[in-house]
Amino acid sequence: MNREEKETRFIERIKAGMKIEATDWMPDTYRKLLLKLIHMHGISEIMGALPEKEWVPKAPTLKRKLAIMAKVQDEMGHGQLLLRVAEDLAEPFGRTREDLVADVIHGRVKFHNVFHMEAPTWADAGVIGWLVDGAAIINQAALLHTSYGPYARVLKRICAEESFHMQHGESIILALAGGTDAQRKMLQDSLNRWWESLLFFFGPMEVTESAQQMIDYGIRTKTNEELRQQFFSKYVPRIRSLGLTIPDPNLSYNETTKRWSWTLPDWEKFRKIVRDNQGPKSQERLNLRRFAHEEQAWVREAMIRSRLKGSVVV
C-alpha cells in the first residue's frame, strides 16, 4: 500500500469507529496532534499537583490531610499514565520519559493556564478540587470516545478516579460554605480568583485549524464552547445555591437559545501566561519541576548503575 492508500484506509477505520493503536500505521499529522495533546495533558497533571501540594502540609484536619495527599498522588498517577501513552507515541522520534519531562522545563511543552495561578488560601485547595477538577472532568469525559485506543483506556481509569476528586473538592467547599463568615469570605474570594481562569481553561471560542483536525481524526468529538456550556449548566446553579456570587454580571442563561452568555476575559493575558510561562506562579513551579527532574538526575542514574547489583526484594 502506498501512503495515500494507507491514509484512506486509516480514515475509514476511524469513521467505522475503530480504535487506533500505538503499533498501527498512522499519518504523521495524527501522531503529532495526539502527541501534543497527550503530552500537554500529562505534563499538566504533573504541574497541577504543585498548587494543591502547597496545601498538603497545611491541611486543617487529619482526614483532610490524608485526602489531599491521596488526591495529589492521583494527579501524579494520572501524569504517569498519560506520559506512558505519550512516550509510546514519541518513540519513533527517539524521545523518552526523560525528554518529555525535560520539555516543560525548557518551554517546549505548555501546561494548562490554571496551574500557573496562585492558590493562597485553603479555600483554593477546595475550589481547585471542585471547579478546576470539575472543568477537567468535563474535558476528559468528552475524550473518552477518542479514536486512539491507549488514550481511551487511560482516560477510563482517570475518570473513575476523578469521581473521588469531585467528592473531595465538594467536601472542602461545603464545609467552608456552611462555616463562619471568615470561611465563607475565604471561599468567595477564591471563586473570584479562579473564575476567569476556568473560562480560559476550555480554550478559545473559535474552532481552530488544529481543533478541527482533531475532530476530523476522531481524537476529540466536542468543541471547546460545547464543553464550556456544559460546565455552566452543571456548576453555575450549584455555585449560586451556596449563596456565592459569580464575578460576571453578564452571565445568564437564554431559555430560547438554550445557551449561556458570558463575558470574555482578557484572552491575550491568559494566552501569554501559558505561552510564555508568565503567570504569577509559573516560574516558581517550573523551578520545582527542575529540582525534581534535573537536580535529581543523579538518583535515576544511580538506580541504573546499581540495578545489576543484588536484587533486594524479589
Work out the angle at residue 242's Cα, subtended by the Cα atoms of residues 132 and 233, and round it to the nearest 5 degrees. Answer: 55
Rounded alpha-carbon distances, angstroms, from residue 115 to 73, 74, 155, 194, 285:
16, 16, 20, 11, 9
User: Nearest distance from residue 222's CB to another protein, in Å?
Assistant: 26
- CB nearer to another protein: pick between 179 and 243: 179
* Distance of closest approach, residue 178 Cβ to another protein, in angstroms: 8
Q: Does 218 bind another protein (CB under 8 A)?
A: no
Per CB under 8 A, does 183 bind another protein? yes
Smallest distance, another protein to C-beta of residue 137, A:
17
Residue 22 φ then ψ, to 5°: -55, -35
Considering only 110-118, 192-200, 216-224, 289-297, which stretch makes contact with another protein by CB under 8 A?
289-297
Which one of residues 14, 40, 49, 177 is an interface residue with another protein (CB under 8 A)? 49
112: cell is: 494548562
Cell numbers for 185 = 469570605
How many CB atoms sit inside 10 A of residue 280's CB?
Answer: 11
Nearer to another protein, 43 or 143 (CB): 43
Q: How does DSSP assign 182-209, residue by residue?
A: HHHHHHHHHHHHHHHHHHHHT--SS--H
Return the beta strands (E) in 138-296 as ranges. 252-254, 259-261
x/- mask, another protein, residues 77-106, rule CB under 8 A, reads: x-xxx-xx--x--------xxxx-x-----
Instruction: Work out whether 292 is an interface residue with another protein (CB under 8 A).
Output: yes
List residues bridging with 148 in a β-sheet.
20
Of the candidate residues 3, 8, 29, 76, the single one contacting another protein (CB under 8 A): 76
Q: Whole-angstrom Cα distance, residue 142 to residue 155?
A: 10
Task: Decide: is 65 part of the binding site for another protein (CB under 8 A).
Answer: yes
What mask of x and - would describe binding to another protein in positions 158 to 177, judged by CB under 8 A?
---x-------------xx-
Q: Quick one: which of 180, 250, 254, 257 contacts another protein (CB under 8 A)?
A: 180
